[in-house]
Structure 1
Amino acid sequence: MSVRFWIFLSARTVSVLGSAFGPIALAFGVLSLPGVTPVTLGVVLAAQGVPQLALLLLGGVIGDRFPRNRVLVVAELASGLAYAGLATMLLTGRAPLALLCTAAFVAGAASALLLPSLTGTVADLVPADSLQRANGQLRLGTNSARIAGVLAAGVVVAWVGPGVALAVDAATYFVAAGLLSAVRLDGSKSTGRRDLRTDLRVGWREFTSRPWLWSTVLAAAVINAALSAAFGVLGPALAKDRLGGSLSWSLVLAGYSVGMLAGVVVAIRFKPRRPLPTAVLFAPLLALPLLALGFRAPVPVVVAAAVCAGVATDIFGVLWDTTMQLEVPAAALSRVSSYEYLVSLSLKPVGAVVAGLAAAELGPAAGLLLFGGLIVLAAAGALSHPAVRHHLPRPQDLGVSS
């Protein structure tokens, strides 16, 4: 691996460490303000989430028009400024809702700018025969940082308060921007005069012209919605009623995180001849913790199921990222990634709403079984498509001369 890749990996690890701080510090910080209710927190989080989805396509166009390292630097700086503003408001006690929402909006917009350029940056930095290893090492670093960030955030918020925690969060983004500024890329430059609609149309054509891509992303949209419903609503509700509360639920989440780390280690060395169908074969394992909870299995069994799901998550992720980077032209990779993110995340709000209705009408256990079954069906649907089931990398991607 080149020095540039290791600098990029370091920047992403530091940035994700800060990202793990953000949600906890922001939630406790907003709720600690005088006269604030959970509704206020919901409004602030919506102000962050809406631009993250709404501006993804624009982020993809920008990532293909300009050097991606510069796009990432701007995104990290914008995130740092947004969280520095939030920290200042909490530390001074002057936090009007309009300013909170403005800072949250900037943070969401920065995320929309950053996400589509990540996949393409790895492809710009690493030769084709090293992409799978690079994706695995990247996920190993970011997953470790995410776990450390979540644990550290709770301690920092409890000891010195959410304002200081958000200031630490802001500092990590500035450090990441500094590291990324040292990464030089020649690719992804603007060529000629193009309008936004033309760029979006080309990206959409690249996305829809690959049945293996859109069919898998559609399945991922259902799976993401189901996982969001399970881990965000139904799982905690069932844990509160039947598993002994937050301690048991934290063990389940810890098991999932440990599984993700193990999955990365496996994925770095795992070289299947058919990466895409192999990746999709692992997707049904994501339903295991939902089914274990739904069938009211004891906590150790649920934790073991969560470990298996975590392993499957990152094996799928590494193989999927590598397939994208090998098969999609570099000049369109950010735009295609933006469509991928937009579609795959689009049903998460629906999943949360349906989860609430399912919990009220059917109970958390039945709801978890329902969403677990949806994950299995979605994965089976993707695998039933011939373009996925029979997908092979191109000969040059396998290192074979044509």
Structure 2
Amino acid sequence: MSSPPAAPSPVPARRRRPAWAGRNYTLLTGAAVVTNLGSHGALIAAAFAVLEAGGSGGDVGLVAAARTLPLVLFLLIGGALADRLPRHRVMVAANALNCVSQAAFAVLVLAGDPQLWQMMLLTALCGTGTAFFNPAAEGMLLSSVSGEHSNRAFALFRMAMNGAGIGGAALGGAMIAAIGPGWVLAVDALAFAVAGALRAFLDVSHVADRAPGGGLLADLREGWVEFRTRPWLWSIVLQFSVVVAVVGAAEAVYGPLVARDRLGGPAPWGMALAFFGVGTIAGAVLMMAWKPRRLLLVGTLCVFPLALPSAGLAVPLPTWGLCLVMFVSGAAIEVFGVSWMTTMHQEIPEEKFSRVSAYDWFGSVSMLPLATALAGPAETAFGRTQALWGCASLVVLVTAAVLFVPDVRRMTRKPPPPAAGSPKPAPEPEPEPVSAPEPARETA
């Protein structure tokens, strides 16, 4: 009798995501996509809500400053809390505050006749949520991947996040032109609600329990020591305190004004911001394959192109030219961003991620409220064109200065540590003693 045919071997299920992209990484990436779809359009909507209410360029700057001022006030506290509490709870609470503030802003604009102080108050609440969210989110992301895959993981995360920004900026600009800024703000509130729900499912069981510390001030001092003893860290943060300030003022205040006066309205400016997002995707794709050895040197050289958008607005370039320089600057800053996150991942202990990230964010945005608030007076005093050329020049000067820091030029990528639980090589047996042993030699 012939034997029954052997059962076909089961076909292994096709893996839908890389092995290193675990649950937390996937949830963080999905939530970032949702929030960026809403927030990129909402930033444009807030500026045009002020202008449609009869505000000036100075009023746009005041509303932008109201959003960033809480970052300066609460970032360090947010970082210390995120290293003490479960990070996902801090993120969800921050998203809830963002949702409520943006929903109230949307109702205010849709109801008509919003007052400047009301818009400033609501954007300040949104900024407060961001101050507590950012250090927790960055610490959670850094702890969600292994060192071996960090470069690719950070590049893919940023590509997904910025890809959503493309759609958000373009759709936001089109929606503002078609139905007004209020509905864009409402979409942003909904996006925060969805993202907060996703982040509620993050798993923090793999994170070791924090040792009891000496209180919030002690945690802040410990983070400060970690920050100030690393020249590469504080020098680049100082650089970005200027870069973020002048680029933020140019994009939040001067960009919408140039779009209104010279480009035909919000849609071209939304398109230019979308091309910046396309550039970031191109940069992320590059960094998924390229692992530069000198992480910070390559990253710092890629900060120089951030001067291009301010220069393009100063000329001003036509829409296609502005889109081109925004694309180049987006690709360049993405190379910096992945290099920076990879450096942080390899140099900073996990239990201090959020505190060090908070000092990073704090330094980087510390001058942004002042810059956005002074953008209108600077335009009045010097003219919009001269102010924009000043922004471009400052980016070039401070970036050139950072290259004089030895650690920035010399920092290199380290080989990844062995994976947790990987078998260690068995020890070689002890040689039997002989009368005249040869001296041991170190092997490569």
Bin for the TM-score computed over the shorter chain: 0.7 to 0.9
State the partner residue of 2:39: 19
Find the partner of 2:98 among 62, 66, 79.
Answer: 79
1:374 and 2:394 are equivalent in the alignment:
yes
Partner of 1:169: 188
Q: 1:159 to 1:351 in 2, by over 3 A?
A: closer
Contact residue 177 and residue 267 of structure 2 kept, 8 A: no
SS of 2:201's equivalent in the other structure is: coil
Identity %: 35
Structure 1 residue 235: deviation in Å? 5.4
How many residue pairs end up in the alignment?
Answer: 399
Which whole-Å CA distance do the structure 2 matches of 1:242 and 1:77 have between them?
38
Determine if contact 2:65/2:370 at 8 Å carries over to the other structure.
Answer: no
Q: Is the 8 A contact 2:170 2:273 kept in 1?
A: no
- Is the contact made by 2:47 and 2:256 (CA closer than 8 Å) also made in structure 1? no
Which one has a bigger Cα radius of gyration? 2
Contact 2:36 2:165 in 1 (8 A): yes
Match of 1:56 in 2: 75
Find the counterpart in structure 2 of residue 335 from structure 1: 355
With 233-242 and 306-315 compared, the bigger mean Cα shift is at 233-242
Aligned position for 1:282: 302
CA distance in structure 1 between the aligned counterparts of 2:255 and 2:41, rounded to whole angstroms: 22
C-alpha distance in structure 1 between counterparts of 2:193 and 2:183, whole Å: 15
CA contact (8 A) 2:173 2:271 kept: no
C-alpha distance in 2, partners of 1:74/1:18? 18
In the alignment, the residues of structure 2 paired with residue 302 and residue 32 of structure 1 have an alpha-carbon distance, to the nearest angstrom, of 24
* Structure 2: 5+ residue stretches without partners: 1-20, 425-443
In the alignment, which residue of structure 2 is the partner of 1:119? 138
Q: For the structure 1 residues 246 and 275, does the alpha-carbon distance in structure 2 shift closer, same or farther, using more than 3 Å as the test?
A: same
Residues of 2 paired with 1:172 and 1:311: CA distance?
26
Structure 1 stretches lacking a partner, 5+ long: none
- Taking only aligned residues, the RMSD between alpha carbons, in angstroms, comes to 3.4
**Quick one: which amino acid aligns to residue 219 of structure 2?**
D
Closer, same or farther: CA 222–152 of 1 in aligned 2, 3 Å = same
Change (3 A) 1:57 1:146: same
Compared CA separation, residues 303 and 222, structure 1 to 2 (3 A): same
Residues 65 and 372 in structure 2, CA contact (< 8 A), matched pair in contact too: no
Aligned partner letter, 1:390: R
Q: Which amino acid aligns with 1:203?
A: G
1:63–1:188 Cα contact (<8 Å) kept: no
Match of 2:227 among 207, 215, 236: 207
Corresponding residue for residue 158 of structure 2:
139
Task: Note the alpha carbon deviations across 1:1-56, whole angstroms, 9 max, x for none.
Answer: 213311220011112222224334445557777xx756887766554432232111
- Is the CA contact 1:230–1:371 (under 8 Å) kept in the aligned structure 2? yes
* Equivalent-residue separation in structure 1 for 2:99 and 2:269 (angstroms): 31
Structure-2 change in CA distance of 1:397 and 1:237 (3 Å): farther
SS in 1 for 2:143: helix
CA distance in 2, matches of 1:326, 1:200: 21
After TM superposition, list the pairs within 5 Å mapping 1:23-102 onto structure 2: 23-26=43-46, 46-89=65-108
C-alpha displacement at 1:164, in angstroms? 4.3
Correspondence for 1:129 among 148, 153, 156: 148
SS where residue 384 of structure 1 aligns? coil
The reply to whether residue 308 of structure 1 matches residue 328 of structure 2 is yes
Letter in 2 for 1:3: R
Describe the shift of the 1:188–1:164 C-alpha distance in structure 2 as closer, same or farther (beyond 3 A). Answer: farther
Give the CA deviation at 1:361: 5.0
Residues of 2 paired with 1:311 and 1:40: CA distance?
A: 31
- Counterpart of 2:126 in structure 1 is 107
Contact 2:110 2:183 in 1 (8 A): yes
Q: State the distance in 1 between where 2:104 and 2:317 align.
A: 45
Q: Residue 238 of structure 1: CA displacement?
A: 6.0
- In structure 2, give the amino acid aligned to 1:67: P
* 8 Å CA contact 2:75, 2:362 repeated in 1: yes
Superposition TM-score, scaled by structure 1 size = 0.85
Q: Answer whether contact 2:295 2:412 (CA < 8 A) is retained.
A: yes
Q: In the TM superposition, what whole-angstrom CA distance separates every residue of 1:48-76 from its partner, at most 9, and x where no partner exists?
A: 43223211111101111112122212211
Residue of structure 2 equivalent to 1:390: 410
Query: Aligned equivalents of 1:301 and 1:346: distance in 2?
Result: 31
Question: Normalized per residue, which structure has more helix?
Answer: 1
**Contact kept? 2:70, 2:131, Cα under 8 Å:** yes
- Deviations 1:324-377 (Å, cap 9, x if unpaired)? 122111111111111111111122234346655554455444443333222122
**Secondary structure at the residue paired with 1:62?**
helix
Change in CA separation of 1:379 and 1:157 when aligned onto 2, cut-off 3 Å = closer
Q: Is the 8 A contact 2:306 2:395 kept in 1?
A: yes
- Closer, same or farther: CA 221–32 of 1 in aligned 2, 3 Å: closer
